[in-house]
Amino acid sequence: MSNSQIKLEEINFVPDKNNNTPIYKQIVDYVNSKVACCDWVIGSKLPSQRELAAFFNVNRSTIVQAMDELKATGIIEGTAGGGTRIINNTWSLLMSSAPPNWSNYIKSGSFKSNIETIQTINKQEFEEGIIRLGTGELSPELIPNILNDEIIKGVQENNVKLNYLGPLGLLELRQAISKYIKRFGINVSPNSILIVSGSLQALQLISVCMLRKGSTVFVELPSYLNSLQVFQSAGVKLSGVPMDKNGIMYWNMKVDKHASDNSSLLYTIPTIHNPTGMIMPNERRVELVNYCKSIRLPIIEDDAYRELWLEDEPPAPLKSLDDNGSILYLGTVSKTLAPGLRIGWIVGPEPVVERLGDVKMQTDYGASSLSQWILYEWLESGLYERHLIGLKKHLLDRRNFVLDILNKYFKDIASWSVPKGGFYIWLRLNKKISTEKLFTLALIKKILINPGNIYDFSKNQYLRISYSYASLKDLEYGLKCLSEIIFDM
């Protein structure tokens, strides 16, 4: 039996005063329906009558009347503490059979729930009036009109039909990507490229195809990967490796001597690291690739932010140094063009991408062909490159704008480095405060932040501030407000 408290936020109902059904009865019906469909399970406690009256904007007596009826039909009962609790549901009263035990089912699967902060972020992002200070995506104003006339014309000339595609994805797109990534020094055929529905899916596929329970994925500390459950759900351990200013201190990896038998991997973001913004210099790259080669440890190189450099062009990807097929390279347009396309790619040895492609077929039968054709047009027409030039100017302006705000409001309470690309400023608070508490206090003021402990379970003094998403006005207001909250803590 559940013992949970039903929260007011879970109530998605407002009594309709113009309805012929009395208000108290509408509330009874609503409670019955929530109990009936198992949204509210047996044992759950209802909010207090006072809270319900305020929430529904009705007299307390209306709530009392509703509760009396619910008690009379045996749905709820009073508790010792004066509250009410669900004790039965309509079917077990009215019918012979109760609904399936859904709460048992949804706990059964192998896939873990998102960590709670992330679940909250995922939901709150779409609430009215929320200021998103940590969001890792482009502001709507920075996302181009994906279906502009030039693109539409191209698609129509190709007489595109949206059938299923083969296991590796649209050949034309793979050819275009093969051509495009040559500029980064990566020379591979389209057969070594698998189209995926974003980089996150790439990781998901790797986790179910290539890793066994108990194997290890090494990650930078902090790392974006720590915010995901994808590897943990496959029973894989994440092992954090500290970074210095040049990136992962690979010599600290505690690699098992039988690493390759254990199917361990290294996940790294060497170029405009998420969340720190670090760019690994070339010397460290060469060392890292040679070291991993010497111990036969494959590398997943996540290169999502490469093209968003704001000062000097970063060194070539690790993959360009890969002369024996040790590296799986992940690319995407989610950060540079439009996350809603949900298109990324994996570059790797043919047998690996074929295995991943086969499982992708079994998982979702391939990425949206529509998205693939549209992206093909963006790449082939040169519009993508032109878009990047303008985008980077906007991001530079936004970065500088936020640095000015930080200098104004945060210089006594935090420290940071100037990021040379990407979306994020990795802010270190001077005070040792709980960033989880800060998260809650900020949310009350409708400010959504990404606390550092999402990316590094041990640290509680960092925030990932993003200058890519919120409007300039919201960035200024939100950061000012945040500095005040921190000041008062």
Residues of span 354-383 touching a second copy by CB under 8 A: 355, 358-359, 361-371, 374
Q: Which one of 137-145, 274-282, 382-390, 404-412 is the stretch in contact with a second copy (CB under 8 A)?
A: 137-145
List the x/- string, 287-326, binding to a second copy by CB under 8 A: ------xxxxxx------------------------xxxx
- 96 near a second copy, rule: CB under 8 A: yes
Write down the residue that tokens 């309509």 correspond to: 90
User: Which span (21-29, 112-120, 239-247, 454-462) binds a second copy, by CB under 8 A?
Assistant: 112-120
CB-based contacts of 463, cutoff 8 Å, min separation 6: 133, 134, 426, 427, 429, 435, 438, 449, 450, 451, 452
Taking the least distance from each CB to a second copy, the nearer of 229 and 461 is 229
Enumerate residues 28-87 that contact a second copy by CB under 8 A. Answer: 36-39, 41
Contact region with a second copy (CB under 8 A), list: 311-319, 348-356, 395-403, 435-443: 348-356
Q: Is 325 left (phi over 0), alpha (psi -120 to 50) or beta?
A: left
> How far, in whole angstroms, is CA 384 from its chain's centroid?
24
Angstrom distance (rounded) from CA 460 to CA 480: 21
Max distance between CA atoms of the chain, in angstroms, equals 77
Q: How far is the CB of 307 from a second copy (least distance, A)?
A: 18
Binding a second copy by CB under 8 A: which of 64, 155, 396, 413?
Answer: 155
Phi-psi region of 25 (alpha: psi -120 to 50; beta: other; left: phi over 0): alpha
Q: Closest distance between a second copy and the C-beta of residue 325, in Å?
A: 4
Beta carbon of residue 306, minimum distance to a second copy (angstroms, whole number)? 19
Q: Using the rule CB under 8 A, is 88 a contact of a second copy?
A: no
Residue selected from 128, 163, 312, 458 as contacting a second copy according to rule CB under 8 A: 163
> Shortest gap between Cβ of 359 and a second copy (angstroms)?
5
Binding span for a second copy by CB under 8 A among 146-154, 395-403, 437-445, 446-454: 146-154
Q: Which has the closest alpha carbon to 299: 210, 187, 179, 421?
A: 210
Are 23 and 52 in contact, with CB atoms under 8 Å apart?
no
Show contacts with a second copy in window 257-286 (CB under 8 A).
260-261, 263
* Residue 147 touching a second copy (CB under 8 A): yes
**In this chain, which of 29, 51, 69, 125 binds a second copy, going by CB under 8 A?**
125
Angle in degrees, CA 153, 156, 161, rounded to 5: 150
Given 105, 251, 432, 488, the residue binding a second copy (CB under 8 A) = 105
The reply on whether position 352 binds a second copy by CB under 8 A is yes
Q: Three-state DSSP class for 134? A: coil
Q: How far is CA 145 from CA 316, 341, 471, in A?
A: 30, 12, 18
Kindly provide the residue ranges of all beta strands, DSSP E only, lying in 72-137, ordered along the sequence.
76-78, 84-86, 131-132
Q: Does 425 bind a second copy (CB under 8 A)?
A: no
**Residue-wise burial string across 92-126, b where 16 or more C-beta atoms lie within 10 A, e elsewhere:** eeeeeeeeeeeeeeeeeeeeeeebebeeebeeeee
The single residue among 1, 3, 7, 12 that binds a second copy, judged by CB under 8 A, is 12
Residue 296 burial (CB count, 10 A): 13
Tally Cβ neighbours within 10 Å of residue 334: 20
Q: Does 18 bind a second copy (CB under 8 A)?
A: no
The nearer residue to a second copy, 363 or 471, going by C-beta atoms, is 363
Residue 140 binds a second copy, judged by CB under 8 A:
yes
**Residues in CB range of 44: below 8 A, 6 or more apart:** 2, 3, 4, 5, 6, 85, 86
Q: How far is the CB of 254 from a second copy (least distance, A)?
A: 18
Among residues 340, 393, 428, 487, the one that binds a second copy under rule CB under 8 A:
340
What the block records as the tokens of 157 is 């000339």
Q: Given the structure tokens 């704008």, which residue do they identify? A: 401
For residue 125, give the DSSP letter: T
Nearest to a second copy of 82, 140 (CB atom): 140
The span of 48-56, 107-115, 396-404, 425-433 binding a second copy (CB under 8 A) equals 107-115
# chain residues binding a second copy, by CB under 8 A? 107
Enumerate helices (H) and strands (E) in the chain, giving the number of each.
16, 16
404 binds a second copy (CB under 8 A): no
Q: Closer to a second copy by CB, 378 or 409: give it.
A: 378
DSSP 5: B
167 binding a second copy? (CB under 8 A) = yes
Single out the segment in contact with a second copy by CB under 8 A; choices: 42-50, 70-78, 225-233, 450-458.
225-233
- In the range 174-203, which residues lie near a second copy by CB under 8 A? 191-192, 196-198, 200-201
**Which CB atom, from 125 or from 476, has the smaller least distance to a second copy?**
125
